[in-house]
Structure 1
Amino acid sequence: MQALIDETQQEFRELANDIAASIGIANPSDIDGADPLAGWSTLQSSGLLELRERTDEVPLAGGVEIALLSQALGAALAPAPYLAGGALAVDLISRSGDVGGWLPGLLAGDDHYSLLMHPGLEAIGDTAGDRGVLWGASREAGFALCVLRDDDGGTFIARRAISGARRLNSISLTNELWEPTDDGEWERGGALTQDDLDRFTALALTGLAADAAGTLRAALAGVVEYSKQRVAYGVHIGSFQAVQHIAAEAHVAIEAIAAAVNYAAWSVDELAPGEALLAARTAKAIAARNALPTAEAVMQLYGGIGQTWEHIAHFYTRRAMFDSMLFGGEETQLRAIADARLGGE
């Protein structure tokens, strides 16, 4: 693999950072009454919804670009549910061959999609009868996607229209979860192979780990800047060795996540499906292990102000915790890795 991103990817990262900053949250008050989908038109008009559209079985952009964009959105605390309603929805529909012609409405920004997750949030729903939890862009109106397994052992993508949903309490203030309150008929789409599902899951895990890396990087950068300005006992608190050590340990933890994400992002489309999934599980496990301690360290460095509702620090902590939980945390990933490596059931 190429250890460093190339010139085109660097330009993409700069664009992603600019777009994410334009639709992100800068202060806690910004979230009051804000519409998480307000930035959706920006994502659509920038062509970012098309990144995982496939032509001749090849996506327009790889896992690296999705990871770069996810890091940017995490750093900006952007509430737009791009990963679920954009990248993952498009990836799954494209892999199924889009036999129902669902993609045009999604890519045009006219149709909003969510993934129907199992109630435990560890996987996408695999039965149409499971009400589950909606993660994505459909909210009270749009479409839910799930994976449907028939009596003959076939696996298919399925969708149904959502005409009513109730917002659930979520640990993250910039990531919404909804519970469907209606019932409807599921429309079966194209078939999916196990390789398709493995690569889809790898992309999901990598995107979440990347979002966590971006979130934590921005959180640490903010408190480091604060430590250069905050004065205690006549000196800047950044000069205190204890503060420096906490910040340094946080930096090492974040870079460990980022390094694992870089490999997993490249692996999504370049390695065999099973190996790509293992790389993604490794990145997710590292992110889940380090996210909360690192975010809490940032809050500690801020001192008393970092514990208040009015400060942005807890927004980063909450988002990192959300990223850690979705599609399974550290224990879930390590157990799956052990099963794959040791042949467990």
Structure 2
Amino acid sequence: MKVALDSDQQMFATVSAALAAELSDRWDAGRERAEAGRPLISAADVDKIAEAGWYAIRLDEEAGGASGGCLDVCIVAEQLGRHVVPAPALGTLIALEQLRVHGGDPALQESIATGERTVAPVLTANLREFATADTKDARLVAFDTAGVTTGLIVDKTASEYGLGPSACGADLTRELAPLAGAKGVEHELARGTDVEARDRAIAYALALISADLLGVSERALADSVEHAKTRHQFGAPIGSFQAIQHMLAECLVSVDVMRSAVWYAAWAVDSLPPSEALRAARTAKAFASQEAVQVSQAAVQTLGGLGMTWESRAHVWQRRVQLDRALFGDETVQYDLLTRA
């Protein structure tokens, strides 16, 4: 059986890739040390994302959404990773799903989807779980906060929190920020605390992060192959060397398997019971976390001395992969949870 995107999804992927490339265009991947601070994000960037309908893909029609599937959102997430987009899209999409599955106010969801509000999901300090109203850890952090002013904890209610200054992290393309001050506005949830809804929201988040890892890996592999074709050493392109060929061939296999795992996890989020969807998503996240690291490291090796320089995109891939890997637990955490289940 052949599994592939249909014609509409392929067209959507092409359009999403064009916007992702535009959003990352001003943020030069080659950064000097003095410039390796915050991503360059503007209100116009958020407006572009909202106008493209990315935030609203998954939302119900009453919230101004398109009632799209998880795979549709993963198509966007893949392009976010492929172009290492520094705009706060992934975090906002995850926060919106939390609101959707827990029955958040449709008007609130719509205000986020249109870019009127900017929010980021709040996680525990180790980045492994969504924060809850009962979380005792005072070091809660919001994820993907570049250009965002509000952290959102979705539990018994949806509570807004102000954000402190961005914390310095491994990823140059996305920011983490601690909460600052007391709880702000609270929004009622129709379904409140619901274990099944929470599991589905986690499965959705894992699928999107895995798709981001897939996108980074695809770009790292593509650029590595192109470099291997044009870089000559000892009078021949380095792509003719067996060691390079074998390394990149293994990366290709990893990327193809990663894609299958991500697509299956995305399908499971919409089609299987929450526990089974979560198992599929954990499997995809475990594999993608492990293999994306290998692919990004292979890119550094293929690019050679160029890959070791600060202005190379290779170090940006590595940094983004490492944050994705940590989100909701790396492969070790996922395999442990799968074994326990």
TM normalised by structure 1 equals 0.89
Q: Assess if the C-alpha contact under 8 Å between 1:62 and 1:269 holds in 2.
A: yes
Are 2:245 and 1:239 equivalent residues in the alignment?
Answer: no
Range with bigger deviation, 114-123 or 1-10: 1-10
Counterpart among 23, 27, 38 of residue 29 in structure 2: 27
Range with bigger deviation, 214-223 or 48-57: 48-57
Range with bigger deviation, 55-64 or 108-117: 55-64
Counterpart among 49, 53, 57 of residue 51 in structure 1: 57
Are 2:88 and 1:81 equivalent residues in the alignment?
Answer: yes
Q: Assess if the C-alpha contact under 8 Å between 2:220 and 2:295 holds in 1.
A: no
For residue 168 of structure 1, report the CA deviation from its aligned partner. 1.0
For residue 183 of structure 1, report the CA deviation from its aligned partner. 2.5
Alignment of 1:120-269 (within 5 A): 120-127=126-133, 130-131=137-138, 132-137=140-145, 141=149, 143-148=150-155, 156-162=156-162, 164-185=163-184, 187-190=186-189, 191-269=192-270
Q: Tell me the distance in 1 between the aligned counterparts of 2:249 and 2:154.
A: 43
Counterpart among 109, 114, 120 of residue 108 in structure 1: 114
Are 2:97 and 1:91 equivalent residues in the alignment?
Answer: yes
- The one-letter amino acid of 2:29's match is N
TM normalised by structure 2 equals 0.90
For residue 93 of structure 1, report the CA deviation from its aligned partner. 1.4
For residue 311 of structure 1, report the CA deviation from its aligned partner. 0.9
Range with bigger deviation, 164-173 or 21-30: 21-30
- Root mean square deviation of aligned Cα: 2.3
1:266–1:98 CA distance, 2 compared to 1 (3 A): same
Q: Tell me the distance in 1 between the aligned counterparts of 2:105 and 2:115.
A: 19
Aligned to 1:68: 75
For residue 99 of structure 1, report the CA deviation from its aligned partner. 3.5
For residue 188 of structure 1, report the CA deviation from its aligned partner. 4.6
- The one-letter amino acid of 2:297's match is E
Q: Secondary structure at the match of 2:322?
A: helix
Q: Secondary structure at the match of 2:292?
A: helix
1:188–1:173 CA distance, 2 compared to 1 (3 A): same
Are 2:9 and 1:9 equivalent residues in the alignment?
Answer: yes
Q: Assess if the C-alpha contact under 8 Å between 1:54 and 1:95 holds in 2.
A: no
1:3–1:316 CA distance, 2 compared to 1 (3 A): same
For residue 55 of structure 1, report the CA deviation from its aligned partner. 3.9
For residue 84 of structure 1, report the CA deviation from its aligned partner. 1.2
Q: Tell me the distance in 2 between the aligned counterparts of 1:168 and 1:66.
A: 27
Q: Assess if the C-alpha contact under 8 Å between 1:202 and 1:277 holds in 2.
A: yes
Counterpart among 119, 129, 140 of residue 125 in structure 2: 119
- Spell out, residue by residue over 1:251-297, the C-alpha distance to the aligned partner (whole angstroms, 9 max, x if none): 11122211100100111111111111110000000011212122111
Q: Tell me the distance in 2 between the aligned counterparts of 1:295 and 1:303.
A: 13
Aligned to 2:312: 311
Structure 1 portions without partners, runs of 5+? 149-155, 341-345
- The one-letter amino acid of 2:97's match is D
Range with bigger deviation, 114-123 or 179-188: 179-188
Alignment of 1:296-335 (within 5 A): 296-335=297-336
Equivalences, count:
330
- Spell out, residue by residue over 1:306-336, the C-alpha distance to the aligned partner (whole angstroms, 9 max, x if none): 0111111110111111111101111111111
- The one-letter amino acid of 2:98's match is L
1:291–1:67 CA distance, 2 compared to 1 (3 A): same
Q: Tell me the distance in 2 between the aligned counterparts of 1:13 and 1:157.
A: 35
For residue 40 of structure 1, report the CA deviation from its aligned partner. 1.5
Q: Tell me the distance in 2 between the aligned counterparts of 1:292 and 1:323.
A: 10
Q: Assess if the C-alpha contact under 8 Å between 2:286 and 2:334 holds in 1.
A: yes
For residue 245 of structure 1, report the CA deviation from its aligned partner. 0.8
